[in-house]
A = this chain, B = another copy of it.
Amino acid sequence: MAVYTDLTDEQLTDLMSNYDIGNVLSLKGIAEGVENSNFLLTTDYNGQPKKFILTLYEKRVNPDDLPFFINLMTHLAESGLLCPVPVKRKDGATLSNIAGRPAAIISFLEGLSLRRPEAVHCRALGASMAEMHLAAQRFDMTRANNLSIDAWPALYETSRQNADTLHAGLTNLIDGELARLKELWPDAHAALPRGIIHADLFADNVFFIGTELSGIIDFYFACTDMLAYDLAIVLNAWCFETDTSFNITKARALMDGYHSVRKLTPAEIDALPVLAAGAAMRFLLTRLHDWFAPQEGALVKPKNPLDYLHRLRFHKKTKSAADYGVEI
């Protein structure tokens, strides 16, 4: 949950005077997202109550990245993807300033994020993710992935000396895997298709109404990287059970859904095991970092890094994309 910043009546009135979306009916701080402050804003829009999300970007978001995120959402929504649409101000801008922070009002999407997605949801997500990847090919901004392989050694340094206190042998395992991934990571020559990826498609960022996907939110990790790396992240996030066992039925559904919209190239299929290990490494390292150096004022309990240790061990042993349910 996260509402780091409270708003005064005057701040809200000032903000709303820049928009043409009706008068405020209510504003509730909501427990969504961990990086920013989010409010559910209801206005009387054309005489009907209408819901929006007001997001205040807190310090973990680089303000220079905001135009990328906002323009990406606008582009994807215009392309037909079910994602939040930033609302334009009267002056045509999409970013505001409130309580000393950059802020945006975006459309509200109905739907529930699932605690335990089933295969049918994985299939739907796969298809939507592929649509997102294709739609984003026509988006002309880029943003480097600052949490990819080059960033891992420095990220690891912050927790390396404590890692073994959490789990005996963890330091050795990470050292070895970092070396292996460096060796095997697809480089520019591998020519894996690149583009905009979401990079944080965890279950809390995907809404469903019944089995229908109703929205993808939280594009604040989106960046330019290998498209198949997004799939690798989702394999980790959606296809392992809470007991850390891998569910190949869900993986197969995810891959089938993706394939139904965009075919993976042979190079992507080859790279899947190492990308999956890399995705596990990325979340293992950020979780380790947050575990040992929790953010000042964070309202969120750090997540257990060991969930991703188990995943990393699994990926270390896989031999080919067939182990992830891809028909080769």
* A positions within 8 Å CB-CB of B: 1, 3, 6-9, 12, 23-32, 40, 42, 49, 109-112, 114-116, 207, 209-210, 299
Contacts and interface: CB of A to CB of B under 8 A. Distances in A.
Contacts of A26: 109-112, 207
A32 B29 CA distance: 8
Nearest to A39: B31
A75 B57 CA distance: 43
B116 A25 contact: no
Contacts of A8: 115-116
A54 to B, nearest CB: 13
Given A26-B207, A31-B1, A42 B110 contact: yes
A246 B262 CA distance: 67
Contacts of A6: 115
A177 to B, nearest CB: 31
Contact of A3 (B1, B40, B115, B116): B1
A40 B39 CA distance: 12
A40 B25 contact: no
Given A9-B116, A116-B9, A28 B32 contact: yes
